[in-house]
Copies of this chain bind each other. A is one copy, B any other.
Amino acid sequence: MSVRLFVEGALGSGSAVLLDRDQSHYLANVMRKKQGDMVSLFNGKDGEWQATLATVEKRVVSLDVIQQTRIQETEPDLWLAFAPIKKARLDFIAQKATELGVSSLTPVMTRRTIVDRVKTDRMLTNAIEAAEQCERLTVPAVNDATKLDAFLTELPADRKLMFCDEDKTGEESHAALQSAASKAEPGAWAILIGPEGGFDDAEREKIRSHPGCVPVSLGPRVLRADTAAMAAISLWQSAIGDW
């Protein structure tokens, strides 16, 4: 089975990579790779590279980088901001949003958010694993949790905000997204997903007052927050992203 790993350091022809303890353990003991075996590496900047295992010990594996197999490409500039949910479904959002191609993940605390602490390190681990498996060349940034007010205040005026409003007054998404994006390229976007109790009226008003706000509807059924996130990313990618 071919192995693909995200590494931190620079990648280039002839460079050497020393894996951290977890990755060394994974290659040596879980995947049982031997000296001379091939793996793929990416670091989010230098494309994808083929490397061979140079030294293999239980806790220390080093690699020789051989040749580039894919060049780094521009990816959609799509943030996912969402009211955090409990553990298993938070893992799930980090994995699926990575597969579906978001560029960053930001937990946003709202008045009706129940979860009060978010393990962003765990989200990042999930995002890295998903990126390794889905053949992405990047790992989405995982940001610290922030309050909705601060998120909206700091959201640049020229970044569009796909607002999945459960009050069902949003527009049909495909048309709304295409008309908000310029013809040449989608530009910078964020998707905002509320908590399962919904945003309250004051929050909704503040969201709608952002200059880039594009309210869209996700249909007549009540979607759980993780389902809504996956649906919204899929619709964005299909309408104006790289699908």
- Residues of A at the B interface (CB closer than 8 Å) are 92, 96, 99-101, 133-136, 172-174, 217-224, 227, 230-231, 234-235, 237-239, 241-243
Knowing A174-B238, A235-B238 are in contact, say whether A99-B221 is a contact too (CB < 8 A): yes
Q: Is B235 in contact with A219, judged by CB distance below 8 angstroms?
A: no
Contact of A227 among B100, B135, B173 (CB under 8 A): B100
Q: Which residues of B sit under 8 angstroms from A136, Cβ to Cβ?
A: 221
Number of copies: 2
Complex alpha-carbon distance, A135 and B168, angstroms:
14
5 A-B pairs (CB sep. < 8 Å): A134-B223, A135-B221, A174-B239, A219-B242, A220-B243
Contacts of A241 in B (CB 8 A): 219
Q: Considering only CB atoms, which chain B residue lies closest to A178 in the complex?
A: B174
Q: Which residues of B contact A219 (CB under 8 A)?
A: 101, 237, 241-243
A119 to B72, CA, bound (A): 43
